Structure 1
Amino acid sequence: MKVKEVADLVGISVRTLHHYDEIGLLTPAETTESGYRIYSENDLETLQQILFFKELGFPLKKIKDIISSPSFDRTEALEIHRKMLLEKRSRLDNMIQTIDKTIQHMKGEIEMSNKEKFEGFDFSSNPYEQEARERWGDKAVDESNAQINKLSKEEKKAWEDEFNAIYKELAMIRYESPESDAAQKGIKVWYHFLNKMGNYSLDAFKGLGQMYVDDERFTKNIDQFGEGLAVFMRDAMAIYADRNK
């Protein structure tokens, strides 16, 4: 499909699609000799994901990082988004009922208590939005990096030494069961070390461990301390998170 056809199909502007192409967020499968952008079925699926994440409130730069990651799972993303929409629909249905009852109350058709007037209003966070942000958000990483950047040269050196020491200790026990006392003791040290600089929930900690295996860049760096360490840490982190919830 040409860019104008895609824009008309989706309901967005041609300029928006051009912008996505310019920033490397959505580059069409091919461009004709005359310069026309041609979008494939896969491109349309990627565009759908982009718009889903925009609905979640993610900035374009972050969306690009998410969908280009080797660990990105399109089905998982759709399932989380579906849960968010169901939660939103439920809240809207409750508010519509409150509006209908309020109209009847104003017409004198029914009596309405003060409590009933505010049914449907919910200012708490959507639990599925939190799930999405824990899966793809980078708040904990940003906080951690910000804290590290505040350290003096000597403090950074001490932090790096502690970081390397923990990895070396874990590498020495990587052939043990991730459920063993030694493994869980070592991974507990890692969890508390991460939380010195960031704010990792147990779910985020578990997700981070999965990323160690899903993202080959993590795997390569971690396995420098010992082959198989990334897989061992993922399993131990998952067990630690599940046991301590």
Structure 2
Amino acid sequence: MSGMPDTTDAEGLTVGQVSARLDVTVRALHHWDEIGLARPSLRTPAGYRLYTAPDLERLHRIVVYRELGLGLDKIRAVLDDAATDVPAALRAQRAQIAARIDRLRQLGAGLDRMIDAHERGLLLTAEQQAAIFGPGWNPDGPVQARQRYGDTTQWRQYAERSASRTPEEWQAVADDVARLERALGEAMDSGVTPGSPEANHLAERHREVFASYFPLSRQMQVCLGRMYEEDPGFAAHYDAVRPGLATWFRRLVDAAARAHGIDPDTATWDEDR
């Protein structure tokens, strides 16, 4: 808070001098004068404002209360209304400040989680990851994904979801993925043909489940299907569900894309289709 100003200038201080002493803008001083909150007691022959020692004392009190967060109407009541319970008004202001501080702390914690999510992907311990995603899960996978995709829109979308997701919610995501993979394996076993209504429904279900990470367009899904087949790690994962599932799923996705006018051979990582 501002210290009490030197008020030894017997002839009064100009607006500029008061502004410098109290660290208040000239515009604020003019406004307080116009609304009758802090009017200067003197004027020069040319009509310029001059503030006396009592004027500065009032201004100092206004600055103090304003720094405490009181609005101008409340400050006027504290200074001029004898019926105002000043301690009660200050306690109410303190309660508002305490609530604001608590909210800022929550925002700070949220920012910390968002930063961590953008840098690490999953905000889960290695033990939590193993419990949720299974013992074969690689806890370094999210960091490796960040190194590979950290500058993409999809990583940012994934991080934003991850920042607010609890372990229980991640468990629900993992359960959805497991159910989808079982359904894919069962469909392959039963001879479901890529391009059939049932196969196209599974392709749409895959997009819906994958939206837990980030929105997935059909073109992007084609690119994923291609990666699932070609990447040794992904291929091994899907082929462990059913031998040949990675290739079958790629064919299923390609056929679903053709039904929507997309040529899988020329599909790119396009977010719009």
Q: TM-score normalised by the shorter chain: which range applies?
A: 0.3 to 0.5
Rg: which structure is higher?
2
TM-score, with structure 1 as normaliser = 0.41
Higher-RCO chain (CA-CA 8 Å, sequence separation at least 6): 1
